[in-house]
Amino acid sequence: MGWIIKAHELATHLSRMTLLNVLGTPLAPCSYDPLTGYFRDGCCRTDESDTGSHLICARVTAEFLAFSIQLGNDLSTPRPEWRFAGLQPGDRWCLCATRWRQALLAGLAPPVVLECTHERALEFVSLQDLQSHEWRPLRAGD
């Protein structure tokens, strides 16, 4: 069984090698805890089956989580049947590009981790908008 997990890890690693972020550098993982990404592999990578375009790595805020609930997507409530513990402010999560854009227009866009945001996000929002909401850690390890 362990070899299956290792093979999956290798395949995931190899598939990430050619993926780029919005800065044109290799896409970095967004979060392993909570485990995020359309494929639940920690990265904001996508394919044609991802109709939500989960491309933007953001550090969610309480305001954004409340906004998302108002729009019908409750990201805060635990959903054990999906192995989802619910998000807390400060968690990193791969957001749908259109939802982040909606939050931007409403003045509620959460901070973005540019190194972990897939280059296809630029099909939905400008690099300038993403950069103006760039998350910068206050101290090492944040």
How much is the pLDDT for 78? 93
What's the fold here for domain 2-132?
A: Phenylalanyl-tRNA Synthetase; Chain B, domain 1 (3.30.56)
- State phi, psi for 129 to the nearest 5 degrees: -65, -40
Q: Any bridge partners for residue 14, and if so which?
A: none
Note the pLDDT tens digit of each residue in 82-137.
788 899 999 999 999 999 999 999 999 999 999 999 999 999 999 999 999 999 87
The per-residue pLDDT for 13 is 54
5 or 140, which is more confident? 140
Q: What's the pTM? A: 0.84
Q: How far apart are CA 134 and CA 110, in angstroms?
A: 9
Alpha helices per DSSP H over the chain: 2-16, 62-70, 97-105, 127-132
